[in-house]
Amino acid sequence: MTEPQEQELQEQEPQDLEELHLWLRHEVRTTERRTPIVPSDARRLVDSGVALTVEESPQRIFPIEQYEAAGCRVAPTGSWVSRAPRDAVVIGLKELPDEPGELIHRHISFGHAYKRQPGAAELLRRFAAGGGVLLDLEYLVDDDGRRLAAFGFWAGYLGAALAVLHQRGRLAAPLRPTEKEELDETLRPAAGDEKFTALVVGALGRSGRGARTAFVTAGIEPTNWDLAETRDLDRRALLHHDLMVNAVLATTPVPPFLREQDLDDTSRRLRTVCDVTCDVGSPLNVLSVYDRTTDWTDPVRRLRKEPPFDLIAIDNLPSLLPRESSTDFSAALLPQLLEFSTGGPWGRCLDRFHQACRELGITEGDFRRA
Among 21, 94, 115, 354, the active-site one is 94
Contact between residue 55 and residue 91 where contact means Cβ atoms under 8 Å apart? no
Helix (H) or strand (E) holding 246: strand 243-246
Q: Are strands 243-246 and 272-275 parallel, antiparallel or unpaired?
A: parallel
Beta-carbon-side half-sphere exposure of residue 226 (alpha carbons within 13 Å): 8
Rg, C-alpha atoms of the chain: 21
Cα separation of the two ends of the chain: 14
Contact between residue 350 and residue 9 where contact means Cβ atoms under 8 Å apart? yes
112 is catalytic: yes
C-alpha angle 259-261-265 in degrees, rounded to nearest 5:
120
Spatial neighbors of 314 by CB under 8 A, at least 6 apart, are: 162, 175, 278, 293, 294, 295, 296, 299
Report which residue type is found at 366: D
354 is catalytic: no
Spatial neighbors of 364 by CB under 8 A, at least 6 apart, are: 1, 2, 5
Spatial neighbors of 124 by CB under 8 A, at least 6 apart, are: 113, 134, 353, 356, 357, 360, 362
Count Cβ atoms below 10 Å from residue 130 Cβ, excluding itself: 17
Residues composing the chain:
370
Among 26, 105, 107, 112, the active-site one is 112
Catalytic residues: 94, 112
